[in-house]
Amino acid sequence: MNCVIHRSAIFVFALSSVNSLMAGTVGGQCSPHYVSIKQDRVNSHKGPGVQYKRAFAYIVSGTPVMVTAKYDNWRRIKDPEGCVSWVHKSQLSSRRSVIVTYDDGAKLLDSCSTRASVIAHVKKNVVMMLLSTRGNLCKVEVRNKSDGKKYVGWIENDKVFGVDGNELL
């Protein structure tokens, strides 16, 4: 996990302060849900505002994140590595995506069955657009960076971050 910066005492203090501020104010806790990073460079902060220290920058648009809380126009997010930070809501998109988290990558299947033919092997950390879900599989679209070819297929939910096991889309 590359988020040692998030483990400082300052972050814990700031997060505790923010959580106590959220009670009874605009926003607060919300049902966890997935969204994606809107642009190629999005700064995240240790609290809900630019007055809080910058945590780090997301550099890949489309990266899926889970919104776990909201405060005014700010969203507390958890990324695929488990790091938690705050991002302004204007930097998030409702367009859904998933990212391969399985070390060995994942098989992209030609139909909605774990016994379907493999049409591609998707490496770890590849971001794909989420099209739909069915059972323990999700339908995705991914482009091969080397030749630009678009692949549409099915991938197992437990190999990606950005969709819950029983979620229906």
Tell which of 69, 95, 121 closes a domain: 95
Structurally, the chain folds into a number of domains equal to 2
- CATH number for the domain spanning 135: value is 2.30.30.40
Residue 29, pLDDT > 70, answer no
Residues 9 and 88 in one domain: yes
Residue that wins the pLDDT comparison between 15 and 36: 36
- 20 found inside a domain: yes
Q: What is the pLDDT of residues 51-73, one digit of tens each?
A: 999 999 999 999 999 999 999 99
Q: In b/e form, how buried is each residue of 42-54, taking b as 16+ CB within 10 angstroms?
A: bebbbbbeeebee
- 138-164 pLDDT, tens per residue? 999 999 888 889 999 999 999 999 998
The reply to whether 91 falls in a domain is yes
